[in-house]
């Protein structure tokens, strides 16, 4: 019985968010991106809004893909605010990420976000 429980525990896939707030260099525009200071986690470039497919579950860093994720759409969520919808350029995975306009050190660039919104709306 103990062996079976250990086997099941080891094969269990994590589904909950793992907080990872790390700095990185943007794979699209090359900017050095700082970790967020507002209590959230940085997961996209605040300048070009590209992300990288590094997670299966947010924060686990276990994706084997590692490709860039292009910002393709935006949504508004009444609880989370504006969300950027990313599509992986390699495998096609779709992922939503919160914007961070309120970060005191390196907020998402609001003017660039407005340009992104205009581009998305023009292409609809």
Domain boundaries, the chain: 2-122
* pLDDT exceeds 60 at position 33: yes
Instruction: Give pLDDT, residue 13.
Output: 57
Query: Nearest CA to 97 among 14, 36, 31?
Result: 36
Question: CA 50, CA 87: separation in Å to the nearest integer?
Answer: 9
Q: What value does the mean pLDDT of the chain take? A: 83
Print the SS3 string covering 73-90.
Answer: EEEEECCCEEEEEEEECC
Three-class DSSP category at 101: coil
* pLDDT exceeds 50 at position 5: no
pLDDT digits (tens, 9 = 90+) for 66-113: 899 999 999 999 999 999 999 999 999 999 999 999 899 999 999 999
pTM: 0.79
DSSP 28-83: TT--EEPPPSSSS---S-TTT--EE---SSTT----S---EEEEEEEEEETTTEEE
pLDDT tier, 18 (very low <50, low <70, confident <90, very high otherwise): low
Question: CA 9, CA 13: separation in Å to the nearest integer?
Answer: 9
pLDDT tier, 116 (very low <50, low <70, confident <90, very high otherwise): very high
pLDDT tier, 36 (very low <50, low <70, confident <90, very high otherwise): confident
* pLDDT exceeds 70 at position 45: yes
CB-based burial label for 84 (10 Å; 0-12, 13-18, 19+): buried
């Amino acid at each position: 019985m103990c062996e079976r429980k250990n086997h099941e525990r080891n094969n269990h896939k994590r589904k909950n968010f793992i907080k990872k707030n790390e700095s990185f260099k943007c794979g699209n525009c090359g900017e050095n991106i700082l970790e967020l200071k507002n209590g959230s986690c940085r997961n996209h470039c605040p300048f070009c809004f590209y992300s990288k497919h590094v997670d299966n579950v947010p924060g686990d860093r276990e994706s084997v893909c590692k490709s860039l994720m292009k910002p393709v759409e935006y949504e508004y969520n009444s609880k989370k605010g504006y969300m950027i919808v990313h599509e992986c350029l390699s495998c096609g995975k779709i992922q939503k990420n919160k914007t961070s306009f309120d970060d005191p050190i390196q907020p998402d660039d609001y003017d660039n976000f407005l340009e992104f919104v205009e581009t998305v709306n023009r292409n609809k």
